Amino acid sequence: MIGYITIGTNDFEKSKAFYEKALAALNVRKTFASDRMQGYGVKGQPVSLVVCKPYDGKPATHGNGEMVALAAPSREAVNQVHAAALAAGAADEGAPGIRTGTFYGAYFRDLDGNKICVFTTGS
Q: What is the DSSP string of 92-111?
A: EEEEEEEEETTEEEEEEE-T
With contact defined as beta carbons under 8 Å apart, do 106 and 117 qualify? yes
**Which residue segments constitute the domains of the chain, with CATH numbers given?**
4-54+65-120 (3.10.180.10)
Q: In this structure, are strands 115-120 and 91-100 parallel, antiparallel, or unpaired?
A: unpaired
Q: Is 2 helix (H, G, I), strand (E, B) or coil?
A: coil
pLDDT, mean of each 10-residue run, the chain (123 residues): 88 96 93 93 90 93 88 96 98 96 96 95 82
pTM for the model stands at 0.89
How far is residue 21's CA from residue 87's CA, in Å, rounded to a whole number? 9
User: What pLDDT score was predicted for residue 3?
Assistant: 84
